[in-house]
């Protein structure tokens, strides 16, 4: 097995381990993120009801326009925009507190930028 595949398998195993203990409820839903090489996505999920309450990604219209302007934004700056946008959507849905599910990703870089931007807009986790 090559190094890249092993790294992916280790991350997926870490994500499964974390998900055994994390669960979103109606009063405190789960904020989960997904990261790819180019984009980042955030979603707020109520696991008890099995429903997605809010979601946004870097491919969404308003964020994609900002990142494709005259001077393209860095991936970390785009992650900050996604964090701010998901916090605003959560407030609009009446959500104040969430459980943060980083899906096994290391808490630095884009993941940290998204989390801190969501916290700065009033989301508590």
Domain extents in the chain: 3-120
Which 3-state string (H, E, C) describes 35-85?
Answer: ECCCCEEEEEEECCCCEEEEEEECCCHHHHHHHCCCCCCCHHHHHHHHHHH
What gap in Å lies between CA 55 and CA 45, rounded to an integer? Answer: 9
Q: What is the pLDDT of residue 64?
A: 82
What gap in Å lies between CA 32 and CA 55, rounded to an integer? Answer: 10
Q: What is the pLDDT of residues 57-109, one digit of tens each?
A: 999 888 888 777 677 889 999 999 999 999 999 999 999 999 999 998 999 99
Provide the edge-to-edge strand list for the sheet that holds 51-57.
51-57, 40-46, 30-35, 99-101
pTM of the model: 0.87
> In the predicted model, what is the mean pLDDT of residues 28-56?
94
CATH 3.30.420.100 fits 3-120, yes or no: yes
Orientation of helix 75-92 relative to helix 110-120, angle to 10°: 40
Contacts of 91 (CB under 8 A, 6+ apart): 121, 122, 123
> In the predicted model, what is the mean pLDDT of residues 2-13?
92
């Amino acid at each position: 097995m090559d190094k890249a595949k092993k790294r992916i398998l280790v991350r997926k195993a870490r994500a499964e381990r974390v998900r055994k203990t994390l669960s979103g409820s109606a009063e405190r839903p789960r904020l989960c993120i997904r990261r790819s090489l180019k984009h980042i996505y955030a979603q707020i999920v109520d696991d008890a009801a099995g429903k997605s309450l809010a979601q946004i990604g870097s491919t969404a219209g308003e964020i994609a326009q900002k990142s494709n302007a005259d001077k393209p934004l860095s991936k970390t700056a785009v992650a900050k925009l996604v964090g701010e946008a998901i916090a605003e959507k959560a407030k609009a849905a009446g959500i104040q507190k969430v459980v943060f599910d980083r899906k096994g990703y290391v808490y630095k870089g884009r993941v940290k930028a998204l989390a801190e931007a969501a916290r700065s807009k009033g989301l508590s986790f």
